[in-house]
């Protein structure tokens, strides 16, 4: 009886769910909008979305004709490739884990180091990277102009342009499509007033998420993705989780304060996007425990980790239905796939 009583007094008990939890959450987070968000200097139209959808899925924008945007940002598997680091041209391994394309429009910038200011800039990077698509803007445009259907789609999407088939418009069309990849989740329903949208465990996890300080970095519309923070604020993670040679944002700014600084991971759909961290070394959402010690200086109890993970599951949203596009037919003038690297960006 004494042993049972001792167990009863030492067992973990979560704090009660605050009566004003929703109001507390609304001070830190924002629900996803009900319409496609606007992007800077790129009015989104149905014609751009049609074109951008085709370009997102077309492997012919890569030098080898093998890799499309969807290769690393597979919309059927959470918007990423579920690999430690992505495979690119010549089966090279990239240096970092591929972030999801879902809800990426809400990030403050793109890539782990924020080197692309928006989705237009991001769309142009992988095409030219020697370890990704290994292509050049000129070769991409020559490929697209060789197919009459693409010329028609570009002309419809950019009707006011004298020469609509450009690399800049290529990027704008992909951005327009990616802006539609918004995934409303139970958490959004809760923020919008549906108290029953989240389970009690998920609400307890949300409470812990805010009380422990996780929401200091993971806040806003994307529950992250809105700021830059050092990985290892309190305790530096092991070298496999935080590789010594990857200095993060330092490579962009050359500022010593940015060594091991990365854009905070967005947590929407995080349950679908293992493995985790920029290194892709952790395959389980118990990654929460690593964040506890590294960023908060606290060894989270197993039960606390489980509840925070339950909250993460409330961020899994409904992916919009996307019909796989029938792509334009090649012609005799379409550049043939090549094995050599055409692009020269690392």
132 as an active site residue: the answer is yes
Q: Is 185 helix (H, G, I), strand (E, B) or coil?
A: coil
Whether 24 contacts 219, CB under 8 Å: no
Q: Report the DSSP pairing between strands 261-263 and 228-230.
A: antiparallel
**Nearest-angstrom CA–CA distance, 312 and 270:** 7
With 0-12 CB in 10 A as exposed, 13-18 as middle and 19+ as buried, what is 222? buried
134: left (phi over 0), alpha (psi -120 to 50) or beta: left
**Nearest-angstrom CA–CA distance, 102 and 178:** 8
The tokens for 74 are: 């597979």
**Nearest-angstrom CA–CA distance, 300 and 11:** 15
Name the active-site residue from 23, 84, 117, 132: 132
Instruction: Count CB-CB contacts under 10 A for residue 229.
Output: 19
**Nearest-angstrom CA–CA distance, 162 and 68:** 28
Contacts of 262 (CB under 8 A, 6+ apart): 112, 113, 228, 229, 231, 248, 249, 278
**Nearest-angstrom CA–CA distance, 199 and 284:** 21
Q: Is 110 helix (H, G, I), strand (E, B) or coil?
A: strand
Task: Residue 149: name the closest of 329, 324, 336 by CA.
Answer: 329
How many Cα neighbours within 13 Å face the side chain of 85? 14
Which residues form the catalytic set? 132
């Amino acid at each position: 009886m004494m042993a049972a009583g001792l167990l009863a007094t030492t067992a973990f008990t979560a704090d009660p769910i605050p009566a004003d939890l929703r109001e507390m959450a609304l001070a830190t987070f924002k629900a996803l909008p009900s319409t496609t968000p606007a992007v800077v200097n790129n009015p989104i139209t149905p014609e751009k979305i049609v074109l951008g959808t085709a370009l997102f899925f077309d492997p012919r924008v890569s030098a080898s004709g093998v890799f499309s945007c969807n290769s690393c940002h597979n919309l059927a598997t959470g918007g990423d490739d579920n690999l430690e680091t992505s495979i690119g041209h010549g089966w090279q391994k990239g240096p970092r884990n591929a972030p999801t394309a879902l809800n990426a429009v809400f990030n403050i910038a793109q890539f782990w180091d924020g080197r692309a200011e928006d989705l237009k800039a991001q769309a142009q990077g992988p095409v030219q990277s020697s370890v990704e698509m290994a292509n050049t803007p000129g070769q991409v445009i020559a490929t697209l102009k060789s197919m009459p259907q693409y010329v028609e789609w570009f002309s419809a999407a950019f009707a006011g342009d004298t020469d609509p088939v450009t690399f800049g418009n290529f990027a704008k069309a992909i951005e327009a499509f990616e802006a539609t990849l918004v995934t409303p989740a139970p958490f959004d329903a809760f923020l919008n007033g549906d108290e029953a949208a989240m389970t009690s465990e998920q609400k307890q996890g949300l409470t812990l998420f805010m009380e422990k300080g996780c929401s200091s970095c993971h806040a806003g519309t994307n529950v992250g993705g809105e700021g830059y923070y050092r990985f290892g604020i309190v305790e530096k993670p092991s070298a496999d989780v935080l590789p010594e040679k990857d200095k993060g944002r330092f490579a962009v700014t050359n500022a010593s304060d940015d060594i091991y600084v990365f854009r905070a991971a967005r947590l929407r759909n995080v349950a679908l996007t293992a493995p985790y961290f920029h290194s892709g070394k952790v395959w389980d959402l118990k990654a929460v425990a690593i964040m506890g010690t590294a960023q908060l200086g606290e060894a989270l109890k197993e039960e606390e980790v489980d509840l925070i993970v339950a909250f993460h599951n409330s961020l899994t949203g409904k992916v919009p239905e996307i019909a796989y596009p029938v792509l334009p037919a090649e012609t005799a003038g379409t550049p043939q796939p090549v094995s050599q690297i055409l692009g020269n960006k690392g």
